[in-house]
């Protein structure tokens, strides 16, 4: 975390962002999100590898967030 | 924030006390109708919400309050604020009429699972929004209300266009409004939800971080979203946020990762009262089955006579008697001081998909006060009334004896909550009252059937009184004096 500098900070140009995101919250979000984004990317490639070997993916815990089939 | 009952008292237009932070629009009432004005500044985002299909999808999923666009001009409370006096509010883009929330409740009144479901609903909305190119610009727990037994977002103006690279502006608010209170409730003490009463913008993360057990640092979610987050807030409090750069920021994939991480952190939080399983926690009363059924019959009979549309069952325990009215399609607020009983009540409604009941944690000896800016953002419990009929079953001894409130004051309080009252008098000889008197001196000479009737007749007419079979208790149907 300590290597983070202001150079990493990007801002909010939107006039409607009425909440103060908080500098610290903003920074830590960048860090966590980067980490978790990498995790998702890894997971995606891992499931591709598994598919290659014919292994089924685990049950999607977030099924409730998916759109129901029309 | 939508209200129902209070609207009856207003014959002029007025903006609501909680509706001022977000420049996108505001709520106002015109007589009995609630409106939401969408300001021009928010036009693009509003159109995107409606045209992207996000509105329809969220409403269909029961996650967003439905509304109708109304033809302008509606009398706006800000009429004449523009350059031409008497003209329509020039900031107005559209006026919406949202579906009404039967009873507004606040996070400090929710049981653990209600709070958790509200958090998960917020994250689910954010996930669906991202898929359709939008993002929540706030994640306030006060924007979630329970309708038809389920949590949904009542602020239609909470969405903004999502721009890849932008972080989630509401991340801090989500952690303070949802994650910190839930973690404290699950892992420290369920009563800590009451901190939400003190901190209007959610529990400060440094406070949550200090109070949570050290073992929470072993959970990736709590370590990052609360402990490290709190540290970063302190360390970088004065760091300046610069204009967006070409690259960098939070990619869409990273944003999804963030939301999923919050989801899994919230999902893992569980609360078990004293380590017991939910099914067999509650010992209800000292009633025999006959007494229990007779009590239900009497109440059902009186409800039929009064024909209420809003019931408050105060001291409802796990909501057994609330179901007399809720199952008859009458909206019933079912409150109790015990978070365990309320949790059980909510679990039952969720399991049986009940719609007309709202369990709430409420201490009648210290009901929710009016809070926030100018004490006008959050209504007190009393301000959210009146109810058409109030139930006070097996409650009077807790107020009069445990809490030393004189009977006349109890009567005065109830008279302010609604026109009709079903109240159960529990005499001193009853084993439950004996239990309360065991550890203290009996200073309650007034606490007799006669003393009770005398006190309540100052405020009410006794319309009916019926002894409950196989018990020493008496049920009264009271109507407030004009």
CA distances from B195 to A28, B108, B198, B207 (A): 24, 8, 5, 10
Q: Which CATH number fits domain B289-480: 3.40.50.300, 2.60.40.1220, 3.10.580.10, 3.40.50.150?
A: 3.40.50.150
* CA atoms B366, B370, B373, B378: torsion sign: positive
Q: Which tokens sit at B265? A: 């952190």
Q: What pTM does this model have?
A: 0.90
d(CA B127, CA A66): 9
Q: Write out pLDDT tens, residues B268-277.
A: 999 987 655 5
Alpha helix (H) ranges present in B192-240? 195-198, 205-211, 220-222, 229-235
| ipTM, two decimals | 0.73
- Average pLDDT in the B119-140 region? 97
Please, are residues B1 and B104 in contact by the beta-carbon 8 Å criterion? Answer: yes
- Contact criterion met (CB < 8 Å) for A62 and B255: no
Q: Which of the four pLDDT bands, split at 50, 70 and 90, describes residue B284?
A: low
Does B455 have pLDDT greater than 90? yes
CB atoms within 10 A of CB B4: 17
- Average pLDDT in the B229-255 region? 79
Does B324 have pLDDT greater than 80? yes
DSSP-assigned letter for residue A14: -
Domain covering B105-237+247-271, topology: Transferase(Phosphotransferase); domain 1 (1.10.510)
Residues on chain B touching A59 (C-beta within 8 angstroms)? none
d(CA B38, CA B140): 19
Which candidate from A10, A25, A40 shows the least CB-CB separation from B256? A40
Order of strands, sheet of B387-392, starting from the edge strand that comes earlier in the sequence: B357-361, B331-336, B310-314, B387-392, B418-425, B474-480, B460-467
From the number of C-beta atoms within 10 Å of its C-beta (0-12, 13-18, 19+), residue B134 rates as buried
Does B34 have pLDDT greater than 80? yes
Helix (H) or strand (E) holding B142: none
Mean pLDDT (chain A) is: 69
In the three-class reduction of DSSP (H, G, I as helix; E, B as strand; rest coil), residue A8 is classed as helix
Which candidate from B22, B173, B232 shows the least CB-CB separation from A27? B232
Please, are residues B277 and A38 in contact by the beta-carbon 8 Å criterion? Answer: no
Q: Domain boundaries in chain B? A: 1-103, 105-237+247-271, 289-480
In the three-class reduction of DSSP (H, G, I as helix; E, B as strand; rest coil), residue B74 is classed as coil
Rg (CA), chain A: 18
Cα nearest neighbour of B233 on chain A: A24
B69 CA to chain A: closest CA distance, Å? 22
Q: Write out pLDDT tens, residues B291-316.
A: 999 999 999 999 999 999 999 999 99
- Contact criterion met (CB < 8 Å) for A40 and B229: no
Q: Residue B175, CB half-sphere, CA atoms under 13 Å: how many?
A: 30
What pLDDT, on a 0 to 100 scale, did the predictor assign at position A40? 81
Residue that is written with structure tokens 């208790």 in the block: B473
Does B375 have pLDDT greater than 70? yes
Does A70 have pLDDT greater than 50? no
Select the more confidently predicted residue: A15 or B35.
B35
Does B3 have pLDDT greater than 70? no
Cα nearest neighbour of A33 on chain B: B254
Nearby residues of B453 by Cβ (< 8 Å), 6 or more positions away: B462
What pLDDT, on a 0 to 100 scale, did the predictor assign at position A51? 83
d(CA B393, CA B114): 24
Tell me the percentage of chain B whose pLDDT exceeds 90: 80
- Average pLDDT in the B87-97 region? 80
Q: Write out pLDDT tens, residues B377-436.
A: 999 999 999 999 999 999 999 999 999 999 999 999 999 999 999 999 999 999 989 999
**Can you spell out the DSSP letters for B320-359?**
TTHHHHHTTT-EEEEEES-HHHHHHHHHHHHHTT--SEEE
Does B243 have pLDDT greater than 60? no
Which candidate from B45, B249, B256 shows the least CB-CB separation from A10? B249
Cα nearest neighbour of A41 on chain B: B253
- Contact criterion met (CB < 8 Å) for B257 and A40: yes
From the number of C-beta atoms within 10 Å of its C-beta (0-12, 13-18, 19+), residue B408 rates as middle
d(CA B350, CA B228): 35
Helix (H) or strand (E) holding B423: strand B418-425
Residue that is written with structure tokens 């830590």 in the block: A28
Cα nearest neighbour of A10 on chain B: B244
What pLDDT, on a 0 to 100 scale, did the predictor assign at position B187? 97
Residue that is written with structure tokens 């966590």 in the block: A32
Which candidate from A9, A15, A33 shows the least CB-CB separation from B241? A9
- CA torsion B415-B416-B422-B426 (nearest 10°) is -70
């Amino acid at each position: 975390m300590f290597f983070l500098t202001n150079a990493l900070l990007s801002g909010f140009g939107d006039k409607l962002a009425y909440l103060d995101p908080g500098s610290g919250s903003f920074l830590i979000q960048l860090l966590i999100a980067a980490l978790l984004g990498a995790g998702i990317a890894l997971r995606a490639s891992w499931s591709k590898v598994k598919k290659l070997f014919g292994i089924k993916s685990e049950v999607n815990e977030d099924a409730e967030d998916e759109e129901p089939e029309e | 924030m939508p209200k129902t009952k209070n609207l009856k008292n207003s014959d002029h237009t007025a903006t609501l006390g909680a509706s001022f932070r977000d420049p996108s629009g505001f709520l106002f009432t015109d007589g009995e109708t609630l409106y939401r004005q969408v300001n021009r500044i928010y036009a693009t985002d509003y159109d995107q919400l409606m045209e992207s299909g996000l509105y329809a999808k969220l409403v269909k999923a029961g996650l967003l309050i439905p509304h109708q666009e109304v033809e302008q001009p509606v009398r706006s409370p800000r009429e004449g604020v523009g350059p031409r006096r008497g003209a329509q509010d020039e900031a107005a883009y559209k006026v919406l009429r949202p579906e009404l929330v039967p009873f507004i409740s606040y996070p400090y009144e929710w049981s653990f699972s209600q709070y958790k479901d509200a958090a998960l609903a917020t994250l689910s909305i954010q996930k669906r929004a991202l898929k359709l190119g939008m993002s929540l610009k706030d994640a306030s727990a006060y924007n979630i209300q329970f309708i038809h037994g389920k949590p949904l977002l009542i602020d239609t103006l909470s969405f903004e266009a999502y721009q890849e690279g932008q972080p989630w502006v509401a991340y801090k608010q989500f952690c303070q409004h949802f994650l910190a209170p839930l973690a404290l409730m699950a892992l420290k003490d369920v009563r800590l939800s009451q901190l939400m009463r003190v901190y209007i913008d959610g529990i400060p993360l440094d406070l949550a971080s200090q109070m949570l057990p050290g073992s929470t640092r072993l959970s990736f979610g709590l370590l990052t979203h609360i402990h490290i987050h709190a540290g970063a807030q302190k360390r970088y409090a004065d760091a300046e946020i610069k204009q967006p750069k070409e690259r960098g920021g939070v990619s869409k994939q990273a944003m999804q990762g963030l939301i999923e991480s919050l989801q899994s952190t919230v999902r893992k939080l569980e609360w078990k009262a004293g380590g017991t399983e939910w099914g067999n926690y509650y010992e209800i009363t000292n009633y025999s089955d006959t007494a229990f059924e007779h009590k239900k019959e009497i109440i059902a009979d009186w409800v039929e006579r009064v024909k209420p549309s809003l019931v408050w069952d105060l001291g409802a325990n796990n909501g057994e008697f609330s179901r007399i009215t809720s199952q008859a399609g009458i909206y019933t607020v079912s409150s109790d001081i015990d978070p365990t009983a309320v949790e059980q009540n909510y679990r039952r409604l969720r399991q049986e998909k009940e719609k007309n009941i709202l369990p709430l944690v409420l201490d009648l000896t210290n009901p929710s006060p009016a809070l926030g800016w100018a004490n006008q953002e959050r209504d007190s419990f009393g301000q959210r009334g009146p109810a058409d009929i109030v139930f006070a079953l097996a409650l009077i001894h807790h107020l009069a004896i445990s809490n030393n409130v004189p009977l006349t004051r109890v009567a005065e309080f109830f008279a302010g909550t609604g026109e009709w009252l079903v109240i159960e008098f529990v005499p001193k000889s009853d084993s439950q009252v004996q239990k309360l008197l065991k550890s203290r001196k009996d200073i309650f000479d007034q606490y007799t059937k006669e003393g009770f009737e005398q006190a309540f007749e100052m405020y009410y007419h006794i319309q009916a009184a019926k002894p409950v079979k196989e018990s020493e208790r008496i049920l009264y149907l009271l109507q407030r004096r004009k």
